[in-house]
Amino acid sequence: MAQPRQPGVPYPRLPLPETQEDLVAFQQWLGEAIPMVGALGIQSVTQSAAQEGVALTWQLALSPNLNDKGTGFGGALTAQTTLQGWCWVTLWLRAQGRAQDVVVAEASQRFIAPVTSDYRIICTPSEPQGPEQLAEKLHTRGKGSIALTQQLYCGDTLCLEASGRYAVLAGA
């Protein structure tokens, strides 16, 4: 069993992938690096090409995220969308062979409908040119940021739309 995390002590980075990212290994590392991940109900993590660029999709269970009304707890949903954006940027950097720190710079959510069953969240760049612009900033300045959008669906119903800007810090 892993040692409990200690405040102020960074968790060791996952080695960069030699070829394609192992999303199961990444999810396991994420749960060790960020202890609350184990309580979020993430059932699966997938990446796919989408019209807006690479999409990161999470399938989640509602039961660990219930509120007093028996629907999705807004705080848990907010944590999930924010974390998913961080993961999108981290995985994108890893695919570029870059090991840099990512932080959330700003985030907002719009709750549209109650979350009443297991659900999925899809994260994509807010602008199609976002990844290319980030790559250029990293090349010229060593740091940059990207805007991402997360959409939470119960079946075909859009229940929540979130957006965030994630900053990639300059390497040490």
pLDDT tens for 45-56 read 999 876 556 899
- Structure confidence at residue 93 (pLDDT): 95
Name, in order, each residue with C-beta under 8 angstroms of 163's C-beta and a sequence gap of 6 or more. Answer: 107, 108, 126, 147, 148, 149, 150
Name, in order, each residue with C-beta under 8 angstroms of 42's C-beta and a sequence gap of 6 or more. Answer: 27, 58, 59, 60, 80
DSSP H/E element including 26: helix 23-33
Domain 43-168: CATH superfamily, name plus number: Hotdog Thioesterase (3.10.129.10)
Residue pLDDT tens, the chain, 172 long: 556 788 999 999 999 998 889 999 999 999 999 999 999 999 999 998 765 568 999 999 999 999 999 999 999 999 999 999 999 999 999 999 999 999 999 999 999 999 999 999 999 999 999 999 999 999 999 999 999 999 999 999 999 999 999 999 997 6
Per-residue model confidence as pLDDT tens digits over 26-40:
999 999 999 999 999
pTM of the model: 0.94
Query: Is 166 in contact with 124 (CB distance < 8 Å)?
Result: no
Give me the residue spans of the domains in the chain.
Answer: 43-168
- Taking Cα atoms as reference points, which of 54, 55, 169 lies closest to residue 103? 169
Q: How far apart are the first and last CA of the chain?
A: 30
